[in-house]
Chain A
Amino acid sequence: MSEYDLSAYLSVFLDEADEQIQILDKEILKLEKDPFNVKIVQSIFRAAHTLKGSSASMGYEKLKQFTHHLENVFEHIRQQDLTVTTELVNVLFESVDLIKQMKTAIVDNQLDAIDTTRGISALEKFMPNATNKKAANLKKPFELEQYQKDILLEGLKNDYYSYEINVRLSDDAAMKNVRAFMVYSALSEKGEIIVTNPTVETMEQDETFDGRMQFDILSKTEKDVLEQAIKNISDVSFTSIDLLTEDFLAAPKKLEEAAPNDDAALHTQLKVTPTIRVDVEKLDHLMGLVGELVINQTRLVDVRGRFSEKDIRHEREFDVLNEVTNQLSLVISELQDGMTQTRMLPIEQLFNRFPRLIRDTSMKANKEIDFEMIGEETELDRILIEEISDPLIHLLRNAIDHGIEDQETREKSGKPAKGKVTLCAAHEEKQVVIRIQDDGGGIDPEKVKRASIQKGLITEAEAKKMTDREAMFLIFKSGISTAKQITDISGRGVGMDIVKSHIEKINGVIDIDSIVGKGTTFTIKLPLTLTLSIISALLIKLSNRTFAIPLINVLEIIRIHKNDIQKVKDQEVGVVRGRVLPLIRMKEHLGIEDSKAPNPKNREFVVVVGFADKRVGIIVDKTLGNQEIVTKSLGSYIGTPPFISGATIMGDANVALILDVALVVTKFGSEMIDLPHLIQQSEAKQMDQLVTFKVGQEEYGLDIERTKDIVPVSSITRIVDAPPEILGIINLRGNTLPVVDLRKRLKLEVTPYTKKSRIIVVEYEQRDIGLLVDEVKQVVKVDRFDETAEVQKEANGSQLVKAIQQVDDRTVLILDCDEIVSTIEFHNFY
């Protein structure tokens, strides 16, 4: 094979080698638990054999030789003259590691530099003896027909032993045919020969007969007696006698067929679907075309939207447009999914490596681990699978080494002695979410703080101000380790730093949840694919301009009251879920002028974005909703402007810019902002939400907990002989409910309702009651109604108002819902 040919096959070889190495890892792990399972041995043997075969055909002599030795060991395990011990398993794993090394070396063209002698001698130690080793290799495949198996099985049932006997005559033996016949007749004296290989004719007559024979016999004779009988024949150099078990014989034919030389059978355990290899460039091109389709589809939807707003004279044409647009959207989204799928692989590929990793790590750490994997079938981009590998290995090792406590500690705290580590992957909202969960000791924020102070990463004062959550995130800083001692697995404090940078690289987000004494969960969110130019994005407005924020980075959208925004070191911050969040006025950083007067509203829209371990809140004027967008580069002429990662084309054919979340977050999120008094303040404040509305001149409020719905006034059916406060009944989604005129109830002048009038539906004694108000103003968050306001109740002279609240310089009377409705007689209305 020429050099060129080889390189063309290299990737095929590497893929195959990967597959076989994975099988080896997986099956050896199984073998350790179930050393006598013939099926496992078979599949290990096959994997080793394939590796040997393919490396030989690629001309990798070193790899071939080594796998050859490995194969021999497996052969002996198969022959059951080698017992599977932990020691052996360790050596086997080391051998697999060496194969991995060699594989890497092949890529780097460094195969010659690898020393296999130690590996080989480690393996050879387990060989029963030298001659056996040599002979085992000489054995030929031996296939049993079903009827022969049936005979052997039948024999087993009738208390016969079923043996497989390998005999080899010395190479220099004269008259091999005659010797063979002697062996044959010796065996036939002891039992029933069911099958021979080669055929008896070959043995007795063929000049080229090489002296290797295999017999399957049924006999009542003991094994050593048989062996002795064969050895008595001169010039026999090697004998092996194996007892055939029922399991082996009863195994499905498929496995039986999978004799070592049968390459086709090597994939029996793998799901085989016909595949073709496609150039990635071709896929990219197709993906680009799908992108064009998506753009045009959004434009079509946009046009349809504008049509539907108009008074349509061509209703039927519009219906067609509507139908076609919907159909097209469906097809395009399916096409897009399909294209994405072509680059996706199940994460199983990666996960399969972990049981082995867990075994090794837990052995080294001397801990018993119950490891569970969930969602191996979850698919993601091939490139992402490679990129996420290192972070996951780190996190898993950490979980075992630092997370899970030693047995003594666990027992003391009433946990099962075996630590539990769960690795879980799933698709959530066009993202891949991977969780690593352990039931260990958790991350102690105090320890992290202390370590960080020691390393000079934060000051004592800073540490004091930090929340626990913030402290936990310090572990992502370089050099932080809370491990009491550095083991050779982990604890040097470089790991989490690397985890973070890897996740940043693939635009992921990482989060920690940890409870001291209970355990830790790391959550990693990843985009489904990296190379894909079609992404989901949140569209927002800054002044009158539209920007897109990749949805993968959007954690939540919240509203923060202006009064809750504080300034720390010239940086505006707000407190969100116990974390101080830097708030970024993107407009200022982008130099966008306000089109209107400054926001008259009291609360700001904040889009909380995350990138790896950092979070910031971007203050926006408006959110427009989610949309699939096709990302486009701004081109080399424009270069890379700050905070802008690219552009996309909107439905109205205009260009919108995509915010570079990574940059925004790393720039503004890195400043450590910690104001515990701020947090405490806002956490201490028990916030209530109010619905405020107008009745007459005054503004009133109701606790939002009590309101179920706010609906415009439809037709109110008047009821005869009803209490004066009750205006009538309405039908709300199939339920009839009475409507109380609040004007009447508050003893105000009754006026007819207007366009602004609303019915607020409240619940009272498990019944719905509507309250007619003049106008609903807003929903506001207020501090829990304070006692001082309560005092004024009497001064107010009314039982209906339970508190008075200041909302943005306005006085809002908070009504006591129960007071209002409890005095009215409702029973006629249900």
Chain B
Amino acid sequence: MFLTKDKIQLFESRVFLEHLNQLGMQSVVFSIDHQMYSVLIEQIVEIVRVPIITSVPGIDPIIEGVINLRGNIIPVVNLHRRFQLPIPEKHKKNRIVIVDVNGENIGLIVEEVKMVTTFDEEDIEPPHHQAIDEDVFTSFAKYEGQVIGVLNLHKVLYHA
């Protein structure tokens, strides 16, 4: 694949972000069904607008379909379906967060990307064994009075 300008910038920013990560946990925060979730920025490849998604018959229903990202075919997971939440209307603020899991790029459809932030060490708690199905969260972060779940992408994407 060709290295596009975007990619180079992305690469540079990732180097920078990795540096940041050593200082604290940089995370991207987004909403799904008005609930806040976050993913560590080091797991994120890029964030794009939602293009036309081609659905693929006969696959895991949580996968909405595939998109073309600069010539690469990327599967896109619908987190609403994954968490069995009502499917909302399309909105222009919807984004696809492309994450790198096991060396493969996978897109997550999110309602809205809220911010990129660093959680303070003391605001982060390990998952309390609460009712929320499996352990899809690695930890929880408190942020301005809200609790934001940090997603365990492995558990989210490779559910049984």
Identify the A interface with B (CB < 8 A).
292, 295-296, 545, 590-592, 632-639, 641-644, 647, 649, 653-657
Asked if B58 is at the interface of the complex by the 8 Å CB criterion, the answer is: yes
Interface mask (B54-84 → A, CB under 8 Å = 1, otherwise 0)? 1011111001011110011111000000000
Residues from chain A with Cβ under 8 Å of B58 in the complex: 590-591, 641-644
Query: Across the interface, do B73 and A639 meet the contact criterion of CB distance under 8 Å?
Result: no
Residues in chain B near residue A644, CB distance under 8 A = 56-58
Q: Which of A632, A636, A638 contacts B56 (CB 8 A)?
A: A638
Q: A653 near B57 (CB under 8 angstroms)? A: no
Which residue in A296, A633, A636, A654 is a CB contact (below 8 Å) of B54? Answer: A654
Partner of A633 from the list B51, B71, B73 (CB cut-off 8 Å) is B73
Docked-complex contact A295 and B71, CB < 8 angstroms: yes
A295 to B54 alpha-carbon distance, docked (Å): 17
Closest Cβ neighbor of A647 among chain B residues: B73
Instruction: Select B2's contact among A292, A642, A653, A657, beta carbons within 8 Å.
Output: A292
A627 to chain B, nearest CB (A): 16
Residue of B67, B75, B106 with most chain A CB atoms under a 10 A cut-off:
B75
**Cα-based distance from A158 to B100 in the complex (angstroms):** 90
Given contacts A590-B58, A649-B68, contact A637 B106 (CB under 8 A): yes
The CA of A635 and the CA of B103, in the complex, are separated in Å by: 11
A565 to B11, CA, bound (A): 58
Is the pair A638, B1 in contact by a Cβ cutoff of 8 Å? no
| A residues near B1, Cβ cutoff 8 Å | 292
B: which residues have CB within 8 A of A? Answer: 1-2, 51-52, 54, 56-60, 63, 65-68, 71-75, 101, 104, 106, 157
The 5 closest A-B CB pairs, nearest first, are A655-B54, A590-B57, A641-B58, A642-B58, A641-B59
The answer to whether A634 touches B52, judged by C-beta atoms less than 8 angstroms apart, is no
Asked if B66 and A638 make an inter-chain contact with CB atoms under 8 angstroms apart, the answer reads yes
Q: How far is the CA of A295 from the CA of B60 in the complex (A)?
A: 28
Counting residue pairs across A and B whose Cβ atoms lie within 8 Å, the total is: 70
Q: Knowing that A296-B71, A657-B56 are A-B contacts, what are 8 other residue pairs whose CB atoms are under 8 Å apart, sorted by A's residue number?
A: A292-B71, A545-B54, A634-B73, A647-B66, A653-B51, A653-B68, A654-B51, A655-B54
Q: Whole-angstrom distance between the alpha carbons of A656 and B75 in the complex?
A: 13
Residues of A within 8 A of B59 (CB): 638-639, 641
User: Would you call B63 and A638 a contact (CB within 8 A)?
Assistant: yes
Q: Which residue of A lies closest to B101 (CB)?
A: A637
Are A637 and B68 touching (Cβ within 8 A)? no
Residues on A with C-beta less than 8 A from B73 are: 632-635, 647, 649, 655
A257 to B60, CA, bound (A): 71
B157 touches A655 (CB 8 A): no
In the complex formed, the residue of B with least CB distance to A636 is: B104
- Chain A nearest CB from B58 CB (Å) reads 4
CB proximity of B96 to chain A, nearest CB, Å: 13
Report the Cα distance A644→B8, complex, angstroms: 34
> Given the complex, which residues of A lie within 8 Å of B71, measured CB to CB?
292, 295-296, 649
Closest to A545 in B: B54
Minimal Cβ-Cβ distance residue in B for A589? B57
CB distance from B157 to the nearest CB of A (A): 7
Chain B residue at smallest Cβ distance from A296 = B71
Q: Given A641-B58, A656-B54, verify A635-B68 contact (CB < 8 Å).
A: no
The reply to whether A635 and B52 form a contact with Cβ atoms under 8 Å apart is no
Give the distance in Å from the alpha carbon of A105 to the alpha carbon of B89 in the complex: 67
Q: List 18 A-B contacts (CB under 8 A).
A: A295-B71, A590-B57, A634-B56, A634-B73, A635-B73, A635-B75, A637-B101, A637-B104, A638-B60, A638-B75, A644-B56, A653-B51, A654-B52, A654-B54, A654-B68, A655-B54, A655-B67, A655-B73
What's the minimum C-beta distance from A676 to chain B, rounded to whole angstroms? 35
Q: Which residue of B lies closest to A653 (CB)?
A: B68
Across-interface contacts of A296 in B (CB, < 8 A) = 71
What separation, in Å, do the CA atoms of A292 and B1 have in the docked complex?
Answer: 8
Which of A638, A642, A654, A657 counts the most B-chain CB atoms under 10 A from its CB?
A638
Of B56, B67, B104, B157, the residue contacting A641 (CB under 8 A) is B56
A253 to B114: give the CA distance in the assembly, Å.
Answer: 85
Given A636-B104, A637-B104, A647-B66: A657 in contact with B75 (beta carbons within 8 A): no
Given A292-B1, A634-B66, A638-B63 in contact, is the A647-B51 Cβ separation under 8 Å?
Answer: no
Residue ID in chain B nearest A587 by CB atoms = B57
The minimal Cβ–Cβ distance linking A335 to chain B, given in whole angstroms, is: 16
Q: A633 — which chain B residues lie within 8 A by C-beta? A: 73
| Chain B minimum-CB-distance residue to A632 | B73
| A633 CA to B75 CA, complexed, in Å | 11
State A542–B58 Cα separation when bound (angstroms). 16
Closest A residue, CB atoms, query B106: A637
Distance between A544 CB and nearest chain B CB, rounded to angstroms: 11
Task: Determine whether the beta carbon of B54 is less than 8 Å from that of A657.
Answer: yes
Shortest distance from the beta carbon of B136 to any chain A beta carbon, whole Å: 17
Chain A residue numbers with a CB within 8 Å of B74 are 635
- How far apart are the CA atoms of A248 and B51 in the complex, in Å? 77
CA distance A653 to B67 in the complex (A): 9
What separation, in Å, do the CA atoms of A647 and B74 have in the docked complex?
A: 10
CB-CB < 8 A to A632: which residues of B? 72-73
User: Are A647 and B57 also in contact (CB < 8 A) when A295-B71, A635-B75, A637-B157 are?
Assistant: no
| B75 and A634 within 8 A (CB) | yes
Which chain B residues border A657 with CB–CB below 8 Å?
A: 54, 56
B68 close to A655 (CB less than 8 A): yes
Is B57 a contact of A641 with CB atoms below 8 Å?
Answer: yes
Smallest CB–CB gap between B137 and chain A, Å?
Answer: 21
Give the residues in chain B near A590, CB-CB below 8 Å.
Answer: 57-58
**Min distance, Cβ A148 to any Cβ of chain B, angstroms:** 66
- Given the complex, which residues of A lie within 8 Å of B101, measured CB to CB? 637
CB–CB B75/A591 < 8 A: no
Cβ-defined contact, A655 with B57, below 8 A: no
Whole-angstrom distance between the Cβ of B108 and the nearest chain A Cβ = 12
CB-CB under 8 A from B54, the residues of chain A are 545, 647, 654-657
Once the chains are docked, how many angstroms separate the CA of A719 from the CA of B66? 64
Closest-CB distance, B139 to chain A (whole angstroms)? 25
Counting chain B CB atoms within 10 Å of each CB, which of A632, A647, A649, A655 scores highest? A655
Residue of A nearest to B1 (CB): A292
**How far apart are B154's CB and chain A's nearest CB, in angstroms?**
12
Q: How far is the CA of A456 from the CA of B157 in the complex (A)?
A: 49
Minimum C-beta distance from B99 to chain A (A): 11
| Bound complex: CA A637 to CA B65 (Å) | 11
| Set of chain A residues within 8 Å of B51, measured between Cβ atoms | 653-654
**Least CB separation from B59: chain A residue:** A641
In angstroms, Cα B52 to Cα A653, docked, is 9
CA distance A642 to B56 in the complex (A): 10
Question: Which B residues are CB-close (under 8 A) to A634?
Answer: 56, 66, 73, 75
Quick one: closest A residue to B67, CB to CB? Answer: A655
Complex CA gap A621/B123 in Å reads 57
Which of A295, A637, A649, A654 meets B75, CB within 8 Å? A637
Write the chain A residue with the least CB distance to B105.
A635
Least CB distance from B48 to A in Å reads 13
B125 CB, nearest partner CB in chain A, Å: 30
Bound: A591/B59 CA distance, A: 11
Task: Please give me the residue from chain B that is nearest to A655 by CB atom.
Answer: B54
Residues from chain B with Cβ under 8 Å of A653 in the complex: 51, 68
User: Measured between alpha carbons, how far is A684 from B72 in the docked complex, in Å?
Assistant: 53
Contacts of A295 in B (CB 8 A): 71
Taking CB atoms, residues of chain B closer than 8 Å to A638 are 56, 59-60, 63, 66, 75
